[in-house]
Chains A and B, each alone.
Chain A
Amino acid sequence: MEDSEQTQYGSTEKPDRGAVLNGHFDGMVKCPAPGGSGRTAAAAATSAAAGAQNPGAESGAHQPVMESWREERTRSVEDNESSLPSLAAAYTTILRGLGEDPQRQGLLKTPWRAATAMQFFTKGYQEKIIDVLNDAIFDEDHDEMVIVKDIDMFSMCEHHLVPIFGRVHIGYLPNKRVLGLSKLARIVEIYSRRLQVQERLTKQIAVAITEALHPTGVGVVIEATHMCMVMRGVQKMNSKTVTSTMLGVFREDPKTRDEFLALIRS
């Protein structure tokens, strides 16, 4: 109880805007210790490294976790409505720049539809893990692997603004606390509905589960197809990208990892 996340929500630190990356800031990082008590490692908070990697903070057996639990929302529902006109204007410019006629019947309302669609594809910026998870963590004396697999995932490539879609498989070893199963899928939704890079997405999901539950270990595997490789560029239709993040005992114990990988294949 003394280590419960609730006490930390009262903190009033607000990061400056410059340190916000993809909806997260490089604030305090936590090491996922197997005993369940969080050890905080101070990381260089404000001069944020450009990517999620912070090599200086890496250490021996326990890989420090890169993002903080308390991400700020970078957008609100009111922001959505107020930015719609300028988004629609931007899309009209794009249509004209491509040589199309924005006044023809099929394209008349396209700027608005495309703007709303894009806001939907990036709705992860409006949501926080806390809101989704707050009441679905239960005390349960279960210490075998829990896996939720084949979670359909849709994201947007941050380099080309073209969809990425695939499946996410998540497994964790509870340490006295389990999570409502759909909450794992909701965590995937929050992080995938953003402009993403698959490596970062995998890590963010794993870190969020670690920080929420302090389990003995977490494993996340994502297999996805990137439309930026399929529809353009190299144009390889059948290629898939697979990334994985293993934390805690999934990283340290090969047998646990093998069990997880075998179960998600079956």
Chain B
Amino acid sequence: MEYQNASEMNGGVDRNLNTCKRNSLCREKKDFKDTVDAKKLSHIEKAYTTILSELGEDVDREGLLRTPLRAAKAMQFLTKGYKETTQDVLNDAIFDENHEEIVIVKDIELFSLCEHHLVPFFGKAHIAYLPNKKVVGLSKLARIVEIYSRRLQVQERLTKQIASAISEALEPAGVAVVIEAVHMCMVMRGVQKMNASTVTSVMLGRFHDDPTARKEFLSLTMRK
């Protein structure tokens, strides 16, 4: 399924976020947003209290007293990627540079949540691109991974979103993304296979068309 741009995938994107933070009208919007956020937090907190009691636990024991609040905040942190866009992160870190060889950032730790079971999956992402007169600050590649991984995800979609985001932002000659992850939903429950890991990859541009470029990328990243 082809998407027009990365922001259409994976549910809605909060478009209010890109308003200017300097004038009072925007501050009003921000205050309103804060109230809405606090309300959402308390809904999630109540939901967690229900969950704890339905699981057979005693919600009033000391260790669980503030757990609904902590769990709600944890869940919000783990899905904070919904509130961030690539533009916020990249806007000023794209530089003109006459470099056309492969640039790789590998072993980027990645933590996400399986959208089917709400259980974490984590692993590493390796990203490569072939610049076309424009290079990006290296940490921005890791920040793009953060934006898309801190959501309810499916590993295939996550890989594609990262590749598309870099493609749209830099218009490079090629982009390659490989993610290797362990899914707790397979390890802790279900089939319970401790050592299984899932690898997905997306190759765009020259990495897709040219086998030599792809081979170079894979040999530089997948070395043990």
Contact = CB atoms under 8 A, between A and B. Distances in A.
Nearest to B46: A93
B56 to A, nearest CB: 4
Contact of B44 (A93, A101, A237): A93
Contact of A158 (B44, B47, B63): B63
B103 interface: no
Interface in B1-31: 11-12, 14
Interface in B177-199: 184-185, 187-189, 194
B100 interface: no
B64 A83 contact: no
B120 A100 contact: no
B154 A106 contact: yes
Task: Please classify how large the interface on chain A is, using the bins under 10, 10 to 19, 20 to 34, 35 or more.
Answer: 35 or more
Nearest to A197: B63
Interface in A131-164: 152, 154, 158-163
A63 B141 CA distance: 54
Contacts, number: 161
A231 B118 contact: no
Contacts of B74: 160-162, 228, 232
B82 to A, nearest CB: 5
A61 interface: no
A97 B50 contact: no
Interface of B: 11-12, 14, 40-41, 43-44, 46-48, 50-52, 54-58, 61-64, 66-67, 70-72, 74-79, 82-83, 109, 111, 115-120, 122, 152, 154, 184-185, 187-189, 194
Interface of A: 17, 20-23, 50-51, 74-75, 79, 83, 86-87, 89-91, 93-101, 104, 106-107, 109-110, 113-114, 117-122, 125-126, 152, 154, 158-163, 165, 195, 197, 227-228, 230-232, 237
16 contacts: A79-B56, A83-B54, A91-B47, A97-B44, A99-B79, A99-B82, A104-B11, A106-B154, A107-B115, A110-B115, A117-B185, A117-B189, A163-B120, A195-B64, A228-B74, A231-B111
